[in-house]
Chains A and B, each alone.
Chain A
């Protein structure tokens, strides 16, 4: 036996890129975040070889928990094949040796920018959402020290006020994506810029969600089976984006979150935003054996868990 045999082969970078101290810090912060659902935990946030603001928060969370046995899916705006998703996936695979997939059901870790997949996530799955701005109060209080005090006091009056103002001015709530939610009846939380269509998927979910903002150095979590409620009034309800009348030009499916594609002569066509789901629908249409999991919304646009979305006249309330 020689000394060379006993030593590790040379590595340019640590496993998962992050050094052991950074990894330990992240894991501890993640545990704290899970213990206090919706609470923003500050962390040091190391620089990664990816531009800041391009998913470095999600990336640090993924890199700190991924092991060789994991199967990772990365999506951006619902798409596996966008350049940014491809780039992050390439980096994660290069640094951890994980298997990668586009199949939501097979993935143990799903890192996503701005979407939750259409197929329902299950126990044991981890959804990592990239977060540009962790502070749901930023629009009403840009000073982060004061916003922290407001969270400590659960003082969210200004949010209700802004909701009311929207109602008075426009006759409806005008918040698009990043619709603020109350987690576990305590903390106001930004669910990251997922569309409102995806917000109910976080409520009493079987999976764990970690939300991580690398640039802003904050991470927070929604543990499995935790209440996540969009802010709304008792008589005016939160509404998801209306997908009625939209048919996917590729699969012919309806009542999934659609990308709108403007057409040269005017008007629009639509395609399902979740490309992994589209792949499965196409495979099934070709008669290939495909296991399509249950989805959050059925073909009539009804959310799977009754009573969660109150602002729809589709009978599930």
Chain B
């Protein structure tokens, strides 16, 4: 390696990183496996925002950062950006998802049935304090009989998500058949390799639908929730109902490069939400409009809030905070968190430059009764 201008700064960096590592304790394969096995919802969130389905790597990222979510997501994204595209999987249809949980708020019952599946929705949010006294809280102590006749997912045989599942038709299919929703575009789904890819090309607005859905899929859960909640609470133009919320496993189907035969390379956890707007039917159009968000991993808050934002963004004149550019730029977890923490960097050159103006304005240029400006007029200055 060539000469490196080693300075005090580099020793400080090494010491700082070392100190951080010591506070969160030693890394081990055991720790990584425990995180992967026992904190699946956390792993899912990191995979979703990192847009890389790799439970083991997501668990490693969490362990390595001491559980700092944004750092873990960045680790995964930076790793992801070095990986080549080996192949494109076949599109997954809703009805083919191996579904473990599926709720519709729009109807009391739906073709295929409502499936409560794994959820804390109706749990009493009480801390199990007994655990602290050495009491073991095992699955099964509830004495609930779980059905076992259905096949289990081989890909997740050893995971906490080893749950029965079934394939179910989409609620929207029924609505389309009834003429309540626009029919799906005719023909085969687009060639996956030809889809616009937000990780390989810059986004511009109005964004292609693929870019919007990809951005929502990798968006910051908290950010999507904040903007989505603003819409739900009253700043929104639409009044949506959850048409269908699904958690399931998607078959990752590839075509063999030589024989062209389709085969499964495994299954990935996915979640999706569809909301319908009941308030915007125009004469001559279908009465219902759909909002949609899907992500890898199981993340109900993000998909529901994202689906509502999808509806808002498509509305003719959305609230400024629900315009496509506003939503997609500001819910990008790596960019927003990175820019936020960049304010820790020194800014003394820009600050000095502003000070020069302020002093001059306070001296010569100020008129009678004029006060010192509190900030420089341009927002784009001291970054």
Residues of A within 8 A of B (CB): 13-14, 17, 19, 21-22, 42-49, 51-54, 56, 76-78, 80-87, 89-90, 93-94, 97-102, 113-115, 132-133, 135-136, 138-139, 143-145, 148, 162, 165-166, 169-178, 190, 193-197, 215, 217-218, 241-242, 257-260, 273
Residues of B within 8 A of A (CB): 1-5, 7-10, 12-13, 74-75, 77-78, 80-82, 84, 199-206, 323, 325, 334-335, 337-342, 345-350, 352-357, 360-361, 364-367, 370, 373, 376-383
Q: Are B9 and A82 in contact (CB under 8 A)?
A: yes
Number of A-B contacts (CB under 8 A): 211
Q: Are B377 and A162 in contact (CB under 8 A)?
A: yes
- Give the 7 A-B residue pairs with the shortest CB-CB distance, closest first: A171-B365, A52-B338, A86-B9, A132-B383, A176-B354, A42-B202, A53-B339
A139 CA / B357 CA spacing, docked (Å): 18
Closest residue of chain A to B360, judged by CB?
A: A172
Q: Are B377 and A174 in contact (CB under 8 A)?
A: yes
Q: Are A260 and B380 in contact (CB under 8 A)?
A: no
Q: Are A193 and B74 in contact (CB under 8 A)?
A: no
- Other-chain residue from A21, A77, A133 in contact with B349 (beta carbon distance below 8 A): A77
Tell me whether A81 and B9 are in contact in the complex, defined as CB-CB below 8 angstroms, given that A43-B202, A45-B202, A49-B78 are known contacts.
yes
- Other-chain residue from A54, A171, A172 in contact with B338 (beta carbon distance below 8 A): A54
Minimum CB–CB distance from A162 to chain B (whole Å) comes to 7
Q: Which residues of B contact A44 (CB under 8 A)?
A: 199-202
Minimum CB–CB distance from B42 to chain A (whole Å) comes to 21
A86 CA / B376 CA spacing, docked (Å): 30
Q: Which residues of A contact B378 (CB under 8 A)?
A: 139, 162, 174-176, 178
A215 CA / B74 CA spacing, docked (Å): 13
Q: Which residues of B contact A135 (CB under 8 A)?
A: 380
Q: Which residues of B contact A43 (CB under 8 A)?
A: 202
Q: Are B205 and A144 in contact (CB under 8 A)?
A: yes
Q: Which residues of B contact A22 (CB under 8 A)?
A: 81
- Some 27 contacts from A to B, beta carbons below 8 A apart, are A44-B200, A47-B81, A48-B78, A51-B74, A52-B74, A52-B334, A52-B338, A53-B341, A54-B338, A90-B10, A93-B2, A99-B3, A100-B2, A100-B5, A114-B349, A138-B379, A169-B373, A172-B365, A175-B378, A176-B350, A176-B353, A176-B376, A176-B381, A177-B349, A177-B354, A193-B382, A257-B349
Tell me whether A85 and B9 are in contact in the complex, defined as CB-CB below 8 angstroms, given that A42-B202, A175-B376, A217-B202 are known contacts.
yes
Q: Which residues of B contact A84 (CB under 8 A)?
A: 345-346
Q: Are B377 and A139 in contact (CB under 8 A)?
A: yes
A99 CA / B1 CA spacing, docked (Å): 8
Closest residue of chain B to A56, judged by CB?
A: B338
* Interface residue SS majority, chain A: loop
Interface centre among B4, B13, B80, B337 (most CB of A within 10 A): B4
Q: Which residues of A contact B350 (CB under 8 A)?
A: 114, 176-178, 193, 195
Tell me whether A132 and B339 are in contact in the complex, defined as CB-CB below 8 angstroms, given that A174-B373, A175-B377, A193-B381 are known contacts.
yes
Q: Are B204 and A48 in contact (CB under 8 A)?
A: no
Tell me whether A52 and B7 are in contact in the complex, defined as CB-CB below 8 angstroms, given that A144-B325, A171-B361 are known contacts.
no
Minimum CB–CB distance from A229 to chain B (whole Å) comes to 18
- Other-chain residue from B13, B206, B366 in contact with A87 (beta carbon distance below 8 A): B13
Minimum CB–CB distance from A246 to chain B (whole Å) comes to 11
Q: Are B361 and A172 in contact (CB under 8 A)?
A: yes
Q: Which residues of A contact B342 (CB under 8 A)?
A: 51, 53-54, 132
A99 CA / B147 CA spacing, docked (Å): 65
Q: Which residues of B contact A148 (CB under 8 A)?
A: 204
A234 CA / B180 CA spacing, docked (Å): 64
Q: Which residues of A contact B204 (CB under 8 A)?
A: 42, 145, 148
A87 CA / B346 CA spacing, docked (Å): 14
Q: Are A260 and B355 in contact (CB under 8 A)?
A: yes
Minimum CB–CB distance from A143 to chain B (whole Å) comes to 6
- Other-chain residue from B199, B346, B352, B366 in contact with A171 (beta carbon distance below 8 A): B366
Q: Are B13 and A171 in contact (CB under 8 A)?
A: no
Closest residue of chain B to A94, judged by CB?
A: B1
Q: Are B7 and A81 in contact (CB under 8 A)?
A: yes
A139 CA / B383 CA spacing, docked (Å): 13
Q: Which residues of B contact A83 (CB under 8 A)?
A: 9, 12-13
Minimum CB–CB distance from A257 to chain B (whole Å) comes to 8
Q: Are B339 and A170 in contact (CB under 8 A)?
A: no
Minimum CB–CB distance from A98 to chain B (whole Å) comes to 6
Tell me whether A242 and B360 are in contact in the complex, defined as CB-CB below 8 angstroms, given that A42-B202, A47-B80 are known contacts.
yes
Q: Are A195 and B379 in contact (CB under 8 A)?
A: no
A48 CA / B82 CA spacing, docked (Å): 9
Minimum CB–CB distance from A147 to chain B (whole Å) comes to 11
Q: Are B84 and A19 in contact (CB under 8 A)?
A: yes
A290 CA / B3 CA spacing, docked (Å): 19
Interface centre among B5, B9, B205, B360 (most CB of A within 10 A): B5
A22 CA / B275 CA spacing, docked (Å): 37
- Other-chain residue from B346, B364, B365 in contact with A77 (beta carbon distance below 8 A): B346
A76 CA / B204 CA spacing, docked (Å): 30
Q: Which residues of A contact B353 (CB under 8 A)?
A: 176-177, 195-197, 241
Q: Which residues of B contact A217 (CB under 8 A)?
A: 202-203
Q: Which residues of A contact B200 (CB under 8 A)?
A: 21, 44
Q: Are B361 and A100 in contact (CB under 8 A)?
A: no
Q: Which residues of B contact A258 (CB under 8 A)?
A: 352
Q: Are B373 and A78 in contact (CB under 8 A)?
A: no
Q: Which residues of A contact B346 (CB under 8 A)?
A: 76-77, 82, 84
Q: Which residues of A contact B7 (CB under 8 A)?
A: 80-81, 86
Minimum CB–CB distance from A45 to chain B (whole Å) comes to 7
Q: Which residues of A contact B373 (CB under 8 A)?
A: 169-170, 174
Tell me whether A145 and B341 are in contact in the complex, defined as CB-CB below 8 angstroms, given that A77-B348, A174-B361 are known contacts.
no
Closest residue of chain B to A242, judged by CB?
A: B356
Q: Which residues of A contact B340 (CB under 8 A)?
A: 53
Q: Which residues of B contact A53 (CB under 8 A)?
A: 335, 338-342
Q: Are A100 and B380 in contact (CB under 8 A)?
A: no
Q: Which residues of B contact A178 (CB under 8 A)?
A: 350, 378, 380-381, 383
Minimum CB–CB distance from A201 to chain B (whole Å) comes to 14
Q: Are A273 and B349 in contact (CB under 8 A)?
A: yes
Q: Are A145 and B355 in contact (CB under 8 A)?
A: no
Interface centre among B365, B370, B373 (most CB of A within 10 A): B365
